[in-house]
Structure 1
Amino acid sequence: MVATVQANTLDTGRAAPRERRSWTGWRFVGPFMAVFAVVFLAPIAYAIYLSFFRTQLVGGTAFVGLDNYVKALTDPLLWASVGRVALFLVVQVPIMLFLALLVALAIDSGRLYGTSFFRISVFLPYAVPAVVATLMWGFMYGSQFGLVGSINDALGWSLPDPLSPGLVLASIGNIVTWEFVGYNMLILYSALRVVSPSLYEAAEMDGASQLRIVWSIKLPALRGALVIATIFSIIGSFQLFNEPSILQVLAPNSITTSYTPNLYAFSLSFAGQQFNYSATVAIVMGVITMIVAYVVQLRGMRKGA
């Protein structure tokens, strides 16, 4: 049969027709890929390009290779800011996810009165812009003109200043927790809604308590959603910028220009005109964030396997 096909091909003098490749999928994906390349890939490539140069008043712009990266790896201000956001991550993220988990379980239990109102109320702070939320909390934190100061004046108390150097990081964590508990609650609650009701019915028929159902059915079903929420929270912690930059005006002695890595990069670029080193700091922080998020994802996948 093969010989017959070959003979027919030779007789006609033409090769067998090939299947045409369909470009329909690329036509749908093409607009997104173009925007993705322009607004995401191109800035990263340009930042990497800038990180290999140094601009000076005398001599202009010169190629310095990895000198900016060596400087970043030995920069005490950068690593102090990294340690600060790492502490923020270790303390704030578990508290926020724990509260989000409790709220999601309470709403999913079906025993909470006014579930719809409660769900919207918890999610509503996420709809408030970060700038507005920080200004609102900054006013309440004020010890001279805000809520704390008013309480001290009215009751004769001496409450500690939330914007003092020792408490400002906790105050920022309170703002971030207030903003994102509802967002993470929605992720966890959505994961709970896809659990089959037959599992709950079978557990109740076997005499399992509500606590046992939560431990054996709901928490395992939430493992993937918790990993996703944790990764999002890690990325957000390393990108901490809006809250400290706005509170810096209210507490200049507590929040310096290098308080967080993003604030440090912003100050280097727009206040210090060190665009090349600022790009280097951004690249280093991007790599650190990817490594930490990847490690968390691997650990979450191994526990789920």
Structure 2
Amino acid sequence: MTTPPTRRRRRSALPYFLVLPATLLFALFIVAPGAYAVLLSLQRRKVSGGLLGAGSEVVWVGLDNYRQVLADRELWSSVLRMLAVGAVTIPVTIGLALLFALLLDTARARFTRVARLLIFLPYAVPGVIATLLWGFMYLPATSPIGGDHVDYFGPAAVYASVANIAVWGAAGFNMVVIYTALRALPPEIYEAARVDGSSELQIALRIKVPLVLPAITMCTLFTVLASAQLFNEPNTLKPLSNAISSTWVPLMKVYTDAFVNSDIYSAAATSVVLAVVALLVSFAAARVVQARIAGGDR
């Protein structure tokens, strides 16, 4: 019995109908704002007229805003500060997530459900609230962690203070991803390794870690992108620390240019540059993940 043509057409149109809401939302909140930002980045407001008849108009300047952005030393300084925080955040976050996942996956682990919940719980705390909590713990007057003896908001220590908040909030999420990948592995592999005399440490380093390497790579990608979007932590700590300026990281500079200096055109150009860099990093990391998965399948 053949399917009627009308029913076949309905079935072929069903996938498009199901993805239509997501497509519309993507176009509305990602594509349209991105296109508008690109348009703004190619323009500039020009002041014209004398003292009495002063006015302004928006003029087309092409790539001039991008040339100014790429030559802006303040932007490159903020990028270096972001990279300094990321150099701490990325390896510590992935290292702790992997350590927690391996410990929870051991045969002798107890109360794993409670432990998973406690480790994941900081991820559920909004970033601004978490930063305020840590900010009060850093202050000498309210610090229970030695704020009288350590200047957590000093020019050098502030990098570790910001990185600590980012690690505290992100390690739990990455732990869940890696732990889920570990639980998906067949237990027969571990049993065969134990029969051969392998210790739990050898099983973890020589079997578990190589097999969940795609999950670790994906978590690294998430953490790199999160580090590139660093904003909440330094922006919330700025009133508490003289070492954090209004342009301390690139996104803070974009915010300052757009909403404090009212220069939305330079801010748009900076945003486009950062978005392109993030896309390139994501694309490169995705290719690495695919290569790891393909290598694991073979």
Q: TM-score, normalised by structure 1?
A: 0.87
**Alignment-mate amino acid for residue 147 of structure 1:** S
Shift of 1:203: 1.6
**Using a 3 Å threshold, how does the CA distance of structure 1 residues 35 and 197 change in structure 2: closer, same or farther?**
same
Partners of 1:64 and 1:111 in 2: how far apart?
66
SS of equivalent to 2:65: helix
Partners of 2:15 and 2:150 in 1: how far apart?
60
- Of the three residues 241, 251, 270, the one matched with 2:259 is 270
**Which residue pairs with 1:177 in the alignment?**
167
SS of equivalent to 1:54: strand
Shift of 1:146: 2.0
**Which residue pairs with 1:3 in the alignment?**
none
**Which residue pairs with 1:99 in the alignment?**
96
Shift of 1:302: 4.3
SS of equivalent to 1:147: coil
Partners of 1:258 and 1:244 in 2: how far apart?
10
- Deviates most, 83-92 or 280-289: 83-92
> What pairs with 1:180-199 in structure 2 (closer than 5 Å)?
180-199=170-189
**Which residue pairs with 1:67 in the alignment?**
64
**Using a 3 Å threshold, how does the CA distance of structure 1 residues 190 and 150 change in structure 2: closer, same or farther?**
closer
How many pairs does the alignment contain? 281
Partners of 1:151 and 1:286 in 2: how far apart?
38
Q: Which segments of 5 or more consecutive residues in structure 1 lack a partner in the other structure?
A: 1-16, 153-158
**Which residue pairs with 1:294 in the alignment?**
283
Shift of 1:151: 5.9
> Contact conserved, 1:192 with 1:222, CA < 8 A, in 2?
yes
SS of equivalent to 2:26: helix
**Which residue pairs with 1:147 in the alignment?**
143
**Which residue pairs with 1:239 in the alignment?**
229
**Alignment-mate amino acid for residue 225 of structure 1:** A
Shift of 1:178: 0.8
SS of equivalent to 1:165: coil
Partners of 1:151 and 1:245 in 2: how far apart?
21
Percent of aligned positions that are identical: 38
Give per-residue Cα distances to partners, 1:66-105, cap 9 Å, x unaligned.
0011111111011111111112222221011101100000
**Using a 3 Å threshold, how does the CA distance of structure 1 residues 245 and 110 change in structure 2: closer, same or farther?**
same
**Structure possessing the higher radius of gyration over alpha carbons:** 1
RMSD: 2.0
> Contact conserved, 2:79 with 2:249, CA < 8 A, in 1?
yes
> Contact conserved, 1:268 with 1:278, CA < 8 A, in 2?
yes
**Which residue pairs with 1:86 in the alignment?**
83
Partners of 1:43 and 1:148 in 2: how far apart?
44
SS of equivalent to 1:254: coil
SS of equivalent to 2:58: strand
Q: TM-score, normalised by structure 2?
A: 0.89
> Contact conserved, 2:131 with 2:237, CA < 8 A, in 1?
yes
Give per-residue Cα distances to partners, 1:128-186, cap 9 Å, x unaligned.
1111111011001012x22169763xxxxxx1210111111110000111111111101
**Which residue pairs with 2:238 in the alignment?**
248
Shift of 1:28: 0.6
> Contact conserved, 1:142 with 1:149, CA < 8 A, in 2?
no
Give per-residue Cα distances to partners, 1:219-257, cap 9 Å, x unaligned.
112111111111111111110000111100111x21111
Partners of 1:235 and 1:280 in 2: how far apart?
19
> Contact conserved, 2:218 with 2:289, CA < 8 A, in 1?
no
Q: Which segments of 5 or more consecutive residues in structure 2 lack a partner in the other structure?
A: 49-55
> What pairs with 1:105-120 in structure 2 (closer than 5 Å)?
105-120=102-117
> Contact conserved, 1:248 with 1:255, CA < 8 A, in 2?
yes
Partners of 1:56 and 1:130 in 2: how far apart?
39
Partners of 2:45 and 2:256 in 1: how far apart?
16
SS of equivalent to 2:44: strand
Shift of 1:119: 1.1
**Alignment-mate amino acid for residue 229 of structure 2:** Q
**Using a 3 Å threshold, how does the CA distance of structure 1 residues 230 and 151 change in structure 2: closer, same or farther?**
closer
**Which residue pairs with 2:201 in the alignment?**
211
**Using a 3 Å threshold, how does the CA distance of structure 1 residues 173 and 277 change in structure 2: closer, same or farther?**
same
**Using a 3 Å threshold, how does the CA distance of structure 1 residues 32 and 151 change in structure 2: closer, same or farther?**
closer
- Of the three residues 27, 30, 35, the one matched with 2:17 is 27
> What pairs with 1:161-176 in structure 2 (closer than 5 Å)?
161-176=151-166
- Deviates most, 229-238 or 107-116: 107-116
